[in-house]
Structure 1
Amino acid sequence: MENTALYYRQFGEPESVLKAETAAKAPLNPGQLRVQMLLAPVNASDLIPITGAYRHRITLPAIAGYEGVGRVIAAPDDATHLIGKRVLPLRGEGTWQQIVDCPAALAIPVPDAIPSPLAARAFINPLAAQLMLKLYPPRGKRVLLTAAGSDCAILLGQWAHRLGARKVFGIHRSPVHAARLQAMGIVPIAQHDSATVQAVAADSDIVYDATGGELAQMILSAMPGTGEFICYGLLSGQPFTLQPHYPPMRWFHIRNYLDALSPQAWQAEFQAIWPKMAESQYSNTTRLPFAAWQAAVADYRQAGRSHKPLLTMSNG
């Protein structure tokens, strides 16, 4: 069985180092499912590792992509009931390839009612949002989000409301996000409006930050000492400096929590995610052929983008 995968054999910008390579797929290992991919999204979490930001935990060559949805085409004897079913083939091989092998115990069955474009995006952002809200509950608090137009932030905002947040504010860079944030119950704040950002930060109990850099510095300097600042990304590419008078700052990286989840607990997280995703507003998608992955990456990088590019696999 031939398989085409997007490999990187050195670190660098994805457009330069990713190469499509076609080769025979190795025999399926015991305890693994073989999944024919249908759709895989383009996320910051897919692109940043390719640059070498996490080179200490990546062995080259590597296949890009961390999430997506596909259909099971081969399975071990105790998982044959999954053949023909859609699953999320997670925590195995990279998902930017036509055929993915993954541990059967960690593959997530997709409910029939969940459409594939939604299922393809059910891991990175929904699980991060769900875990952060468990670890740092928003009930009764005034919540501030950065990068509020991003998929993770819009879920954080909607789910914080459901968990009893007093009010949710969202800082956005592009004005195209303001109306849809408002429709989700998230009060939009333009990032360039420094006075409003500082005023809201001064009255915020908890901040979920994905940007770092100058914006994080501004918010931390304005927040009350009783607040809590959760940093889960550095989309700006810039660090920030902590000061003794700042409120407590917590780093959140989803990978730090995965090993502690048993297969049963892992599956349970998604049982909780599916109904919430089905009831939430989420960004629209644009589908591009797998062979046009460069266009999908360029689409992802567009300023003010309000949709998620999805790679459509050629054999799906």
Structure 2
Amino acid sequence: MYNTAIVYRNFGDPLVRLQSEKRETGPLAAENMRVKMTFAPVNASDLIPVTGAYRHRITLPAVAGYEGVGVVTQAPATAAHLVGRRVLPLRGEGTWQHYVDCPAAFAIPVPEEIDDTLAARAYINPLAALLMLQHYPPVGRHVIVTAAGSDCAGFLAQWALQQGALSVTGIYRSAIHADRLAASGIKPLLETESAAIAQAAGNAERVYDATGGALAQHLLDTMPHSGQFISYGLLSGQPFSLRQHLPVVHWFHVRHYLKTLPAAKWQEAFRMLWAYLRRSRISDAERFDLHQWQAAVRFYQTPGRTAKPLLEMR
């Protein structure tokens, strides 16, 4: 049986370094399952490793992609009941390929009522949002999220309200996101509205920041000393300075929480996630065949896009 995968053998620009390769599938390792993929999304977390940002923990060649959904075709005896069922084949090989091998204990069964286009993106951004809210609860607080048009920030904002935040302000870059944020009960603020941002930050005791740079600095300088600033990304490409001891700054990286998470806790986390995802507003999906991966990456990089690119494994 042959498998087509999107592979990188050197670090650099994903549009240059990623290549489609066809190869024969090998034997299935013990305690692994094999999954015929249906969809895999394009995320920043899929593209950044290709640039070499995390080269110290990546062995080349590597297959791109960290999440997706598919149907189990082979499984060990302990997971035989999952053959023919939809799962998220996580914590195994890269997901931008037709067949993925993954540890059976960490594969996540997909509930029947969750469609493929939602299931395919139920890991990277939702799990990060859930863990941040568990570790830095928003209940009874005024909250700010930056990069509010992004998927992770969208989950953070919606779920913070569901968990009892007094208010949530979403700072966005493209005006196309304003109506969608307001429809979810989130107060939209354009990132150039410095005075309004300073006023919102003056009451905010939780800031979940994905941008860094000047916006992060502005928020840190104006929020209460009793607040907590959670940094989980640097989309601006620029750092910020710690000019004072307060408010407290936390650095959140989801991989730090997953290293020691046993299979039972891993499965439990997703049972909670399905419940949240069922009642969440999510972005639309734009489908691309796997051989159109370059178009999918370019679409992902388009400023102001409102849909998530999904690679379809036909």
Q: TM-score, normalised by structure 1?
A: 0.98
Q: Which residue number corresponds to residue 268 of structure 1? A: 268
Q: Which residue number corresponds to residue 145 of structure 2? A: 145
Distance 1:275 1:226 in 2: 32
Distance 1:268 1:65 in 2: 23
SS of residue matched to 2:91: coil
Distance 1:217 1:75 in 2: 50
Alignment of 1:155-304 (within 5 A): 155-304=155-304
Q: Which residue number corresponds to residue 49 of structure 1? A: 49
Distance 1:58 1:245 in 2: 35
Q: Which residue number corresponds to residue 78 of structure 2? A: 78
Task: Give 4+ residue runs of structure 1 displaced > 4 Å after superposition.
Answer: none
1:288·1:309 contact (CA, 8 Å) conserved in 2?
A: yes
* Pair 1:307 & 2:312 matched: no
Deviation track 1:75-100 (CA, whole Å, cap 9, x = no partner) reads 11121111110000000000011100
Task: Give how far 1:246 is off.
Answer: 4.0
Q: Which of 193-202 and 174-183 deviates more?
A: 193-202
Distance 1:29 1:79 in 2: 14
Alignment of 1:16-95 (within 5 A): 16-95=16-95
Identity %: 57
2:181·2:187 contact (CA, 8 Å) conserved in 1?
A: yes
Task: Give how far 1:260 is off.
Answer: 2.1
Task: Give how far 1:245 is off.
Answer: 4.7
- Length, aligned pairs only: 314
1:221·1:246 contact (CA, 8 Å) conserved in 2?
A: no
2:226·2:246 contact (CA, 8 Å) conserved in 1?
A: no
SS of residue matched to 1:29: coil
Distance 2:148 2:163 in 1: 18
Distance 2:231 2:245 in 1: 17
Match of 1:32, as an amino acid? N
C-alpha RMSD over aligned residues: 0.8
Distance 2:215 2:246 in 1: 14
Q: TM-score, normalised by structure 2?
A: 0.99
Distance 1:137 1:260 in 2: 22
Q: Which residue number corresponds to residue 122 of structure 2? A: 122
2:300·2:308 contact (CA, 8 Å) conserved in 1?
A: yes
